[in-house]
Amino acid sequence: MNAKILIILTGGTIAMKTAPQLGIVPTSEFADFLRSFPQLKDVADVDVMEYSNIPSPYMTPQMMFDLAKTIDRQILEYDGVVCTHGTDTVEETAFLCDLVLTTRKPVVFTAAMRSGSDLGLDGPRNIIGSVRVASNPESYDKGVLVVMNDEIHTARDVTKTDTGKVDAFQSLGYGPLGYVDPDRIVYHRSTLYRENVWTDKLDTNIDLIKACAGMDGRYIHCSIAHGTKGIVIEAFGRGNLPSYLVPDIITAIQNKIVVVICTRAYTGRVLDEYGYEGGGRHLQSTGAISGGDLRGIKARLKLMALFGKYHDPNEVRKFFAGSMQ
């Protein structure tokens, strides 16, 4: 018997075409295309739900969260869900869903680097691959997955690494969980690190600041003045910053702001190694907490979920610090 899969459409290039004079823009044809896509019928019993039709730079954390709630409700009637999305922010939406979803059934995000007007378009192939992954019993309880270019990635590890290539998505440092072959879905590893933050709401008052050589504290001042609840800083290397930012970080912490130190490097963990002023060990002694191997954009979403769940910054600190790799 075929699996029952719901495809939820949110927009992105996968649902776009080239319009004369305008360039690549959303169309309303994608849902109908999928409903009459013959190869899909061989793979699963598919329903299509139009959720939104936006370019993914328009996606907000609140919209991602509302989508997660929709998935949790809808999946009760299905064996799995495939969600189509724009590539620009799919890793964020997939990660937030991974944190907050309560279902253990397969939830797969997919997208396309090429629009419906492009030669060698990847959207239909990615859809078929995703529906096959969502229909596969081995995909149960693997967390939210992202299927692109015949590869299966975890939402936590995957990132968009290229602006134009079809193989734009990689799980840097870890590699994909598996791949989509013509005869079967092949899983060749599993992820040992899984986490959930089950919450009824998000608190989006969290900032992300990227370190660069010679930067001053103006963005940290701005966050403090704005009354932000958490600041994620993508620091250098193992999680180091210049000494002259330390007083600003201490002021933020004194203002009960949770400060999380991630790295702007592409792979590896933040570690309390360097003892010089502003070094990772020194920053952690001021009360800043380590983001481990989580990239800044994902640490920001995790703080949003944690502040949605706990009002007390100490609870957030405790959970965050205790859950890091």
Question: Which residues of the chain form contacts with ligand ASP (CB under 6 A)?
Answer: 12-13, 55-57, 86-88, 111, 113
CA 317 to chain centre: 21
Q: Nearer Cβ to ligand ASP, position 47 or 88?
A: 88
- Distance between CA 276 and CA 79 in Å, rounded? 53
Least separation in angstroms between residue 83's CB and ligand ASP is: 13
Which amino acid makes up residue 265?
A: A
Strand, coil or helix: what is 48? Answer: strand
Kindly state the smallest distance separating residue 129's Cβ from ligand ASP, in Å: 16
Rounded to the nearest whole angstrom, what is the least distance from the CB of residue 207 to ligand ASP in the complex? 22
Q: Which is nearer to ligand ASP, 19 or 186 (CB)?
A: 19
Separation of alpha carbons 258 and 303, rounded Å: 9
Residues with Cβ < 8 Å from 254, sequence gap 6 or more? none
Residue 28 CA, chain-centre distance (Å), reads: 26
The half-sphere exposure of 170 on its side-chain side, counting CA atoms within 13 A, is 11
* CA separation, residue 220 to residues 93, 121, 272 (Å): 26, 43, 21
**CB of 142: closest distance to ligand ASP in angstroms?**
24
Between 52 and 135, CB nearer to ligand ASP: 52
By Cβ distance, which residue is nearest to ligand ASP? 86
Q: Which of 10, 13, 84, 154 is labelled catalytic?
A: 13
By C-beta, is 169 or 236 nearer to ligand ASP?
A: 169
Q: What is the 3-state secondary structure (H, E, C) of 198-243?
A: CCCCCCCCEEEEECCCCCCCHHHHHHHHHCCCEEEEEEECCCECCH
How far apart, in whole angstroms, are the C-alpha atoms of residue 13 and residue 123?
A: 8
Task: Tell me whether residue 113 or residue 249 sits nearer to ligand ASP (CB atom).
Answer: 113
Q: Residue 322 CB, nearest distance to ligand ASP (Å)?
A: 34
Q: What is the closest distance, in whole angstroms, from the C-beta atom of residue 26 to ligand ASP in the complex?
A: 9
- C-alpha span between 277 and 283 (Å, rounded): 8
Q: Report DSSP letters for 56-118, one per residue.
A: GGG--HHHHHHHHHHHHHHGGGSSEEEEE--TTTHHHHHHHHHHH----S-EEEE--SS-TTS
Q: For this structure, is 13 an active site residue?
A: yes
Compute the half-sphere exposure of residue 56: CA atoms within 13 Å on the CB side of its CA.
25
- Is the separation of the CB atoms in 206 and 303 below 8 Å? yes
Q: Which is nearer to ligand ASP, 118 or 138 (CB)?
A: 118
- 3-class DSSP assignment, residue 8: strand
Active-site residue set: 13
